[in-house]
Structure 1
Amino acid sequence: MTEWTTVALRDVAQVFDGPHATPRKTDDGPWYLSISSLKQGRFDFSESAHLSDVDLPRWTKRVMPRPGDTLFSYETRLGDAAYWGHSCQAALGRRMGLLRPDPERVNPRYLSYAYLGPDFQSTIRENTLSGSTVDRIPVGAMPNWPIRLPDLVSQSVIAEVLGSIDDLIENNRRRVEVLEEMARAIYREWFVKFQYPGHEDVPLVDSALGPVPHEWSVANLFNAADVGFGCSFKSPRFSNSGPFQVIRIRDIPSGISGTFTDEVADPRYAVFDDDVLIGMDGDFHMTVWTGEDAWLNQRVTRLRPKLGLSALHLLLAIEGQIKEWNRAIVGTTVAHLGKKHLQLVTVLVPNEVTLARASGVFVPMMDERRTLIQSSRRLAALRDRLLPKLVTGQIDVASLDLDALVGDRVA
């Protein structure tokens, strides 16, 4: 039978906090890991920024994340943490802390899972300090907090079980990233450089966008897509569960909603997989939706392609223009994208032969992307069910058939 002991956190790990300022951010370079980088026990690099190589030493004087560390938020999103298994250079952002485990006392990856487990999360809640603006974890007191651990062999088994699931999720993420990079590269080659199959025999002619291949046309976004705007749902009726998902602006980057309502809306506010979504406030994020049936909330726009375009083709055709609006529009507090801006967005529509070839490329990519993302969600749900039971001893790891469990979720 597995033996469990309770020790002080300082007995198995060092605790560090990050700098108390914000560096200049750049488009490339070492990662700058802020609170937004953490997403329910995982890293979301799409929400992470960069800083320059020159600035990196200033932000890592105290500590630089290294493989095996656990990074956590000590303000705003209390309790969120993730295992850092990356070899790339990175710096902690404001309100971020780090646990550096002693591998002779605790399995590094297990420590991350224990941090996310119900016992340590309860300790966090019991010790949280209420501030005038935000609640925070007293990082200085954290080394004295208790943490309950099984023996090292059991820790390694539990870490392997949960880590195998997380590794599958990460592998899916990388495959999605590669698919998206490939799709953008193909779009640039075919529809920006006009190096598409058969281009050698097609002359360029003048258009509203400049020279384009003969028999291609330029369409307004409202002709190239059915454009729908969101509904003003009653926010007091929002909850964490319910019969209907509601897509809010913040859900677009992750492609899944955690907001539900019992309101029934007009069918024109319905969103389905493969609809293109644009956030209309702040950063105008875009995605091809993969979160299954939902309602569209206000300040989110839904596009359904027409003229034979696929959803991925449509997104690639307009994302550069939406990004330009994001840079150009300046609000007093937050930028707002409006219908008047969308009416100025254009779509280059190729002839039928090239359009069919493009769909033959983009549709399978979109299908594979959706399959990978939805598989990752099922795996994440499995991990989130297993984690609290494994790190509290409610499930004996020796009785788990991981291959069968994962196989059911991936299928």
Structure 2
Amino acid sequence: MSMATPTWKPAKLDELGFVGRGKSRHRPRNAAILYGGSYPFFQTGDIKAANFYLTEFTQTYSEEGLAQSKLWKPGTLCITIAANIAESAILGIEGCFPDSVVGFVADPDKADVRFIKYYMEILKLQMQSVSRGTTQDNLSVDKLLSFDFFVPPLPVQRRIAGILSAYDELIENNQRRIRILEDMARSLYREWFVHFRYPGHESVPLVDSSLGQIPQGWEATTFGELYDTSSGGTPSRKRPDYFEGGTISWVKSQELLDGFILATDEYITDLGLKESSAKLFPVNTVLVALYGATIGMLGILACAATTNQACCAVLPKRDPFGREFAFLTLLANRERIIGLRLGAAQQNISQVLLRGFECIKPTDQLVQTFSEKTAPLFERILNLQRQTANLRRTRDLLLPRLLSGQVQLEDVTLP
């Protein structure tokens, strides 16, 4: 099938289906009685975090909450118009959402909701641009309905959506597999080092320590006894030659998302590295965000990289206490560490605080055994993240070409 662009016609969103805002009166305001039930309540952050289908949520409504909202059906396209502007995802399950989200229900005779979702990606930057305000960004429904969606005949919409969604389904599948592997690693850590049910624990008595009872032969220590720490730096922005043409990955704290860091938004030059406080850290270095919106979030370098000063590198002092034990110890104790943060204006985790954090030191042999068991899980996660990045890259290259009618559909192969 080939696409003839003259057959593509402009249409407003409300000409392709029903458009309506979500409801969230919250009266009495934020009353506890409205929450904690069985009805998913999707917020703008949930939509931004979703890949394609929206199934994960951080809040639920009770019957009382539902009574002052509305339950939308699966297949509804959710579009954010405040906070996170022009993010979109398709409901995979029934759910409610607030008035900062617009719902679009496609007319089955006019539009494929998946095609409209992909077209939103083309329009996102324009929508964000017209939404910038002096006090708060906002995309009104009127502004949303002013945009033209150039749509081909329905069979062509379905074919395009089918090609692109094949990539997104593989991405979703990879993400599910990553979550399973992460849960396996976390569960093993908790079993061995929190509940003390490690191999051979039956014959090892518990003894008193400053951290409570721990297995005999283990020690209560500080994180700094096991790991060195180091932060990075930011080359001067006044020197373009520190950044332009750079090939050295430079990690910022907002890029720490509890996974491997495959690539970075910015790169620096050899000169930028040499003439700044930035440092080059090796592959498999664990990073933790010291402050900012992602405080306490972690990352693992998949390639040698530098970081800004908001990232702290964790460098093992002892051989067995490498990537897996460091990452999972920081993850398991994140809330405790954040609870110790300093600073009234900006809540910080300092390197001194991190190194002074009390933790357990199991025997070297047990940590070595643990690393041998969990390292394959980490490697599988890394491989899946790389596959996902390649799928996203290919999809993102295809998307504008498909949605502008530049390619013949029969020439496109599915992943």
Q: TM-score with structure 2 length normalisation? A: 0.83
> Residue 16 of structure 1 is aligned with which of 15, 20, 28?
20
Alignment partner of 1:222 is 2:224: yes
Q: Secondary structure at 2:395's aligned position in 1?
A: helix
| Equivalent residue, structure 2, for 1:161 | 163
> 2: distance between equivalents of 1:245 and 1:72?
33
1:84-123 correspondence to structure 2 within 5 Å: 84=91, 86-87=92-93, 89-93=94-98, 95-117=100-122, 120-121=123-124
CA distance change for structure 1 residues 375 and 143 in 2, over 3 Å: closer, same or farther?
A: same
| Equivalent residue, structure 1, for 2:127 | 124
> 2: distance between equivalents of 1:125 and 1:143?
14
1:325 Cα offset (Å) = 3.2
Alignment partner of 1:277 is 2:284: no
> 2: distance between equivalents of 1:24 and 1:292?
48
| Equivalent residue, structure 1, for 2:150 | 148
Q: Secondary structure at 1:219's aligned position in 2?
A: strand
> 2: distance between equivalents of 1:45 and 1:372?
21
Worse-superposed segment, 229-238 or 204-213 = 229-238
Letter in 2 for 1:270: L
| Equivalent residue, structure 1, for 2:211 | 209
> Does the 8 A contact of 1:35 with 1:73 survive in 2?
no
Deviations 1:227-282 (A, max 9, x none): 11121333566989843332222111275532344422579722444322211124
> 2: distance between equivalents of 1:390 and 1:215?
63
> Residue 244 of structure 1 is aligned with which of 219, 236, 248?
248
CA distance change for structure 1 residues 124 and 76 in 2, over 3 Å: closer, same or farther?
A: same
Worse-superposed segment, 341-350 or 378-387 = 341-350
Letter in 1 for 2:266: T
Alignment partner of 1:198 is 2:200: yes
Letter in 1 for 2:109: E
Q: Secondary structure at 1:111's aligned position in 2?
A: helix
> 2: distance between equivalents of 1:352 and 1:325?
24
> 2: distance between equivalents of 1:252 and 1:336?
16
Q: Secondary structure at 2:10's aligned position in 1?
A: strand
Worse-superposed segment, 352-361 or 185-194 = 352-361
> Does the 8 A contact of 1:218 with 1:348 survive in 2?
yes
**RMSD (Å) for aligned C-alpha atoms:** 3.2
1:14 Cα offset (Å) = 2.1
1:123 Cα offset (Å) = 6.0
| Equivalent residue, structure 2, for 1:409 | none
> Residue 377 of structure 1 is aligned with which of 389, 393, 414?
389
> 2: distance between equivalents of 1:57 and 1:285?
34
Letter in 1 for 2:265: G
Deviations 1:119-176 (A, max 9, x none): x4576368x2542223432313433532111111111111111101111111111111
Q: Secondary structure at 1:163's aligned position in 2?
A: helix
> 2: distance between equivalents of 1:180 and 1:136?
36
> Does the 8 A contact of 1:60 with 1:91 survive in 2?
yes
Deviations 1:87-107 (A, max 9, x none): 1x5433463323221122111
> Does the 8 A contact of 2:258 with 2:297 survive in 1?
no
Alignment partner of 1:53 is 2:62: yes
> Does the 8 A contact of 1:72 with 1:97 survive in 2?
yes
Alignment partner of 1:289 is 2:300: yes
1:332 Cα offset (Å) = 3.4
> Residue 259 of structure 1 is aligned with which of 240, 257, 266?
266
The number of residues matched between the two structures is 395
> 1: distance between equivalents of 2:285 and 2:55?
24
1:58 Cα offset (Å) = 5.5
> 1: distance between equivalents of 2:278 and 2:178?
30
1:390 Cα offset (Å) = 0.6
Letter in 2 for 1:234: S
Letter in 1 for 2:298: T
Q: Secondary structure at 1:264's aligned position in 2?
A: helix
> Does the 8 A contact of 1:244 with 1:260 survive in 2?
yes
Worse-superposed segment, 6-15 or 73-82 = 73-82
> 1: distance between equivalents of 2:234 and 2:104?
43
1:381 Cα offset (Å) = 1.0
Q: What are structure 2's unaligned runs of at least 5 residues?
A: none
Letter in 1 for 2:403: V
> 2: distance between equivalents of 1:240 and 1:387?
28
CA distance change for structure 1 residues 372 and 41 in 2, over 3 Å: closer, same or farther?
A: closer
Q: What are structure 1's unaligned runs of at least 5 residues?
A: 404-411
> Residue 8 of structure 2 is aligned with which of 4, 9, 19?
4
Letter in 2 for 1:316: L
> 1: distance between equivalents of 2:268 and 2:250?
7
Q: TM-score with structure 1 length normalisation? A: 0.84
> Does the 8 A contact of 2:342 with 2:349 survive in 1?
no
> 1: distance between equivalents of 2:342 and 2:11?
53
1:156-195 correspondence to structure 2 within 5 Å: 156-195=158-197
Alignment partner of 1:68 is 2:75: yes
| Equivalent residue, structure 1, for 2:233 | 231
Worse-superposed segment, 91-100 or 390-399 = 91-100
> 2: distance between equivalents of 1:104 and 1:334?
53
Letter in 2 for 1:163: S
